[in-house]
Amino acid sequence: MVARAGLIAAIYVALCWVLKPISFNVLQFRVAEALTVLPILYAEAVPGLFVGALLANVIGGLGIWDIVLGSLATLLAAWLTRRYRRSWAAYLSPILVNAVIVGWYLTYLLGLPGPKLLGSAFLGAALAIGVSEAAVVLALGVPLVGFLRRTGPRC
């Protein structure tokens, strides 16, 4: 279980590093987020994703807010995914959590124009993060879970 958690963290970081130009900022397509559905199958994916996001956000260059809040958002999303693993809510957890939390702090970090709380800057950032997260989770994460259910190790 520890090895699998470490492997998940390593793959997450590697994907963010290799695809760094599209993995960070408001307009992002973080392919590593496809792994956020792995808690459906593996409990150890929760800490693995947290560590992976933490390390990836260190290399991302957006600073301490991204490192702390982004990693905690991933931890919350992974925990919710595990908690609701027998429901479609598991697939929605990373989408909604990241849209709200990451969208909120990126509004401030990047100094996006417009009203900050529930105004256009926050809603635009949340929508951008939510759409990109949904694309990755639904297009890559759902098939990944299906593939691992058919061929992967059972736990």
What is the enclosing helix (H) or strand (E) of 78? helix 71-83
For 2-151, the fitting CATH number among 1.10.1760, 1.10.10, 2.40.128, 1.10.3470 is 1.10.1760
Task: Give the integer Cα–Cα distance in Å for 68 and 90.
Answer: 23
Does the pLDDT value for residue 148 go beyond 80?
yes
Domain boundaries defined on the chain: 2-151
pLDDT tens by residue, 57-114: 999 888 899 999 999 999 999 999 999 999 999 999 999 999 999 998 888 887 776 5
Beta-carbon contacts of residue 17 (< 8 Å; ≥ 6 apart): 56, 59
Question: What mean pLDDT comes out for the span 32-56?
Answer: 97
